[in-house]
Chain A
Amino acid sequence: MGEITTGHYVALSVVLFFIGSVGVLGRKNAITVLMSVELMLNAVNLALLAFSRQWGNHAGQMLAFFVIAVAAVEAAVGLAILVAIFRLRETTNLDDMSTLNE
């Protein structure tokens, strides 16, 4: 077994990102989709940290902190919109949200 290199981390990151994007595009429950977006953002974080270690500078780590903060903001706003929809419609299913399709 060899050493764990940046390539391994990036490969894992790509796999996680892919799983996340399949979740966003394929799932019908808004909360699951939100979780998938978070998964994609964390996959990016993993790649950023691996690259940061590889290059020996802190730009990637710094960026990762901002990504974490923005992910929290997005989760807050996304859940707030979802709560507002749930109050009105009692559903979190994206297929039920189709009044805009003509």
Chain B
Amino acid sequence: MNSGSMASGAALVFPDLSGGALNPLLPFLILSVGALVLLLLDSLFAKRNNLPWAMISSVLPLLALATYATRWPGQSGTTVFGPMYIEDPFASFVGILVCIATLFGMLLSETYLKKMGRYRGDYFALLAFSASGMVLFASTTEFLTLFLGLELLSIPVYILTGFLRRDQKSLEAAMKYFLLGAFSSALFLFGGAFIYGATGTTDLAVALRSAPQSPMLQIGFVLLLSGFLFKAATVPFHMWTPDVYEGAPTAVTAFMATSIKAASFGALGRLLYNAAPVTQILPIPDMLWWIAVLTMTVGNFAALTQSNIKRMLAYSSIAHAGYMTVGLVSFASSGDTEALAGVLYYLLAYTLMNIGAFGVVILWSEKGTERLEIGEYAGLGWKTPALGLAMTIFMISLAGIPPAAGFFGKYYIFRNAVEHGYVSLVVLGVLNSALSVYYYLRVLVALYMRPATREFTMDRSVVVGSVVAFCGLALLWIGIAPDTVLPGVPALVGWVRESVLTLR
């Protein structure tokens, strides 16, 4: 009697998973399954909190990076489970950025958590979970996967933000981030529901092309976009950023300031690519124009008056989201993928300079207390010359002064914007950039031109030190290096261009 009901379900066809059909999913699987293994290890060895968690967990992003490396170059992209998971060079590039940020986040965390007395294994599992969500978020046009990616990247970060649970600021930041994040994902979901209602499909690539005139779809698209803009921390969805970045453990701030930015701008680029029919009807480029201007201006003006370095870097990250939105404006208005290539390059530079700057902040903090006021950095440039030099590179890169990569990134984005006729936007961007020099140089003034006020002790950490050194050298390398011995700037530019060519 069961045969009849089974026959009626015969329409359900499982995809053939033999012969490496799941290979495109490997980076995601490595990170998510690896996170489960880390949780298991943590519960098995819960009594002994002295496992080298950073070393164990950093295997995961390294393995994921290795799988990305085997795919490069010359891969046009495949999909798994229909549109559920897209593996193309664009997704690979964003995935590589996420894995770099995760790897460095893990390496920075061990020293930091030991200083703060909260060294635990589950922390590293949460980092890996969040990274797997980011990989998913940038690799799909299907709303279901997009939603799961968004939640998978956000929820571990809510927990990580509140990880210092004896610290009031950390918990408050977690609460704020959680409530606003949940609110924004509800907006995101409602947008997705409207798009589904207007078209009958949850694949955004199909839905946004099939009924761009439908008002319901347009409302849905704007709601959906607001969810992305919240994660990317652009005006008017930026209010949470300074509080959360300040309150979160510094290693978590370094991780989320970089990787979430990469994942959300990656996903945003893919969404805008597929939303071209809608952006021709709705004034999306104009809207993004205003968002870019306001984000740059609000971020920079607010950063001017900050005395806490984490808060200053938080506002500066808002300003950087604004510069990247300039790239999205020219991409959304023209559909020219070259504009998106500029954003990808900028994301790489942004990741390196922020991880590096937070790494220096972690090295300069003492056991139990952090040194976060810029005034407390007086004279440190002379006492720790290597770190001072590294901080100088990060600050001039953030300010967009050559030869560091931040300058070339801005040049790349602004040049694309000028080519697409956004001269006034670029003028505003350059003015903002000039303004930002003031507060970045203030850190350098403290480092080199103020006398040291008190005794300075620092526990050295080779791991954090090498992360900082790597970031500093890489920033100079991708800012000026020619293609002579190793691949330099031209190779990198070729790479980002190639990444966006087969975007889908």
Contacts and interface: CB of A to CB of B under 8 A. Distances in A.
Interface of A: 6, 10, 13, 17, 20-21, 24-25, 30, 33-34, 37, 40-41, 43-44, 47-48, 50-51, 54-55, 57, 59-60, 62-63, 66-67, 70, 73-74, 77-78, 80-82, 84-85, 88-89, 94, 97-102
Nearest to B143: A63
A81 B193 contact: no
A33 B176 CA distance: 11
A47 B193 CA distance: 7
Contact of B155 (A24, A77, A97, A98): A77
B370 interface: no
Interface in B269-326: 308, 311
Contacts, number: 125
Given A40-B186, A63-B202, A73-B155, A97 B172 contact: yes
Nearest to A56: B200
A97 B193 contact: no
B189 A44 contact: yes
A47 B197 contact: yes
A81 B200 contact: no
Given A48-B193, A84-B165, A88-B171, A101 B243 contact: yes
Interface of B: 143-144, 147-148, 151, 155, 158-159, 162, 165-166, 168-169, 171-176, 178-179, 182-183, 185-186, 189-190, 192-194, 196-197, 200-202, 242-243, 246-247, 308, 311
Contacts of A6: 197
B172 A21 contact: no
A98 B172 CA distance: 8
B375 to A, nearest CB: 15
B197 A81 contact: no
Main secondary structure of the interface of B (DSSP, over half): helix
Interchain residue pairs A-B with the least CB separation, the first 6: A55-B200, A51-B197, A40-B186, A100-B243, A97-B172, A47-B193
A58 to B, nearest CB: 10
15 contacts: A6-B197, A10-B197, A30-B179, A47-B190, A47-B194, A60-B196, A63-B144, A66-B148, A70-B151, A70-B185, A77-B158, A88-B165, A94-B175, A99-B172, A100-B247
B155 A84 contact: no
A37 B196 contact: no
Contacts of A30: 175, 179
A55 B197 CA distance: 8
A73 B193 CA distance: 20
Contact of B183 (A37, A89, A94): A37
A21 B155 contact: no
B196 A59 contact: yes
Contacts of A82: 175
Contacts of B143: 63
Given A62-B144, A73-B151, A81-B174, A100 B169 contact: yes
B193 A44 contact: yes
A56 to B, nearest CB: 8
Contacts of B173: 100
Contacts of A80: 159
A59 B189 CA distance: 14
Nearest to B156: A77
Given A66-B144, A66-B147, A100-B172, 15 more contacts: A30-B179, A40-B183, A47-B190, A50-B197, A63-B193, A74-B155, A77-B159, A78-B182, A81-B159, A81-B162, A81-B178, A84-B162, A97-B172, A97-B176, A99-B168
A37 B183 CA distance: 6
A37 B144 contact: no
A82 B182 CA distance: 14
B200 A100 contact: no
Contacts of B158: 77-78, 81
B172 A63 contact: no
Given A40-B190, A54-B197, A100 B144 contact: no
Contacts of A47: 190, 193-194, 197
B492 to A, nearest CB: 37
A43 B190 contact: yes
B167 to A, nearest CB: 9
Contact of A51 (B172, B186, B193, B247): B193
